[in-house]
Amino acid sequence: MKGKILAKRIHVRTEEHIKHSRSQDSFLKHVKENDQKETEAKEKTTWVQLKRQCAPPREAHCVRTNGKEPGVLEPLPYVITGTLVSRACLTEWGVRIRNCADHRGSGNIDCVLFAN
């Protein structure tokens, strides 16, 4: 109504629509555990690590190949974008070509996208 701001009342039943946030649950649990550890350490007069520690790296283990020969991973050959490269050369390297057009029908490619 011509720029007027009218106050309105909205009646909403909050029991069905609003949930309490659970974002602090893990933090509060951690604080309680730290308090408990600290009181136990004071009784025993010892020091306790209260900071959270990162997960340690996984232990070394053997991997079964089930009779298959393990392969070697190596990077794809690097081609500078914008240089002319022949299609035959790229297919020889095992590179799939997408969204590229021949450069004036010569069999050379002006733009190279690698997708394996």
Answer yes or no: is 65 within a domain.
no
Residue with tokens 């701001």: 5
Is residue 98 one of the residues assigned to a domain?
yes
What is residue 47's predicted lDDT score, i.e. its pLDDT?
94
Number of domains in the chain: 2
- Are 113 and 100 contacting, i.e. CB atoms less than 8 angstroms apart? yes
The whole-angstrom separation of Cα 109 and Cα 11 is 66
Query: Does the CA dihedral 25-26-29-35 come out positive or negative?
Result: negative
| Rounded distance between C-alpha atoms, residue 31 and residue 96, angstroms | 54
pLDDT for position 71: 84
The residue segments making up the domain with residue 38 are: 25-51
Tell me the mean pLDDT per 10 residues along the chain, length 116. Answer: 85 80 92 96 94 93 88 70 62 64 52 49
Could you tell me where the beta strands, DSSP code E, fall in the chain?
A: 85-86, 108-109
Q: What is the pTM of this model?
A: 0.38
